[in-house]
């Protein structure tokens, strides 16, 4: 089973990582947008999750407190996470095990959580569960924008919580 997951992840990394230049974002965290007790190597294990906004070639987009790009899965509606199993290996969810902090330029009324099928809590913004792309390894990377995988499209998100369709 593990070998199958690794093969699927390898395929996705090749599929999203190679068809063109990756974009970068510029991120300047404000004190209210930085989470605590998180590891850059494990972005989904923060005790306080932070989301903020950063400039990119797609305009202002959502990022986590460390500047890592966040994505939405366009087939998900009403905060129901559908990306599980192998999908969640390629697109790790932004988990919210503790309190949530977000930048002042974001609408606090749009920040919420959803319960995943494993019982964990995933951060949502404007009813969209938030994800990382496994091929983005550092702040500012955007390697898999506007692609169709796992039955839906994956997109960076603007500050209002809408997908940005530009490839």
Strands 100-102 and 49-56: parallel
Please classify residue 102 by burial: count the beta carbons closer than 10 Å to its beta carbon, then call 0-12 exposed, 13-18 middle and 19+ buried: buried
Q: What is the pLDDT of residue 15?
A: 58
Residue 62 host element (H or E): strand 59-64
Please answer whether residues 64 and 43 qualify as being in contact, where contact means their C-beta atoms are separated by less than 8 angstroms: yes
pLDDT by 10s per residue, the chain, length 167? 444 444 444 544 445 754 333 444 444 443 333 333 333 334 444 446 689 999 999 999 999 999 999 999 999 988 999 999 999 999 999 999 777 788 888 999 999 999 999 999 999 999 999 999 999 999 999 999 999 999 999 999 999 999 999 99
pTM over cut 0.85: no
**CB neighbours of residue 118 within 10 Å:** 11
Contact 92, 43 (CB under 8 A): yes
Would you state the pLDDT for residue 4? 43
């Amino acid at each position: 089973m593990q070998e199958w997951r690794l093969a699927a992840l390898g395929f996705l990394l090749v599929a999203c990582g190679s068809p063109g230049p990756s974009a970068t974002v510029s991120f300047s965290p404000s004190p209210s947008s930085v989470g605590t007790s998180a590891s850059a190597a494990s972005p989904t294990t923060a005790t306080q999750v932070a989301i903020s906004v950063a400039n990119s070639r797609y305009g202002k987009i959502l990022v986590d407190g460390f500047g890592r790009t966040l994505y939405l899965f366009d087939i998900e509606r009403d905060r129901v996470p559908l990306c599980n199993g192998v999908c969640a290996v390629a697109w790790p969810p932004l988990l919210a095990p503790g309190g949530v902090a977000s930048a002042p330029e974001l609408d606090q009324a749009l920040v919420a959580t959803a319960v995943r099928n494993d019982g964990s809590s995933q951060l949502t913004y404007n009813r969209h569960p938030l994800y990382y792309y496994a091929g983005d390894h550092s702040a500012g990377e955007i390697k898999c924008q506007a692609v169709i995988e796992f039955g839906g499209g994956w997109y960076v998100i603007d500050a209002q919580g809408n997908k940005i369709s530009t490839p």
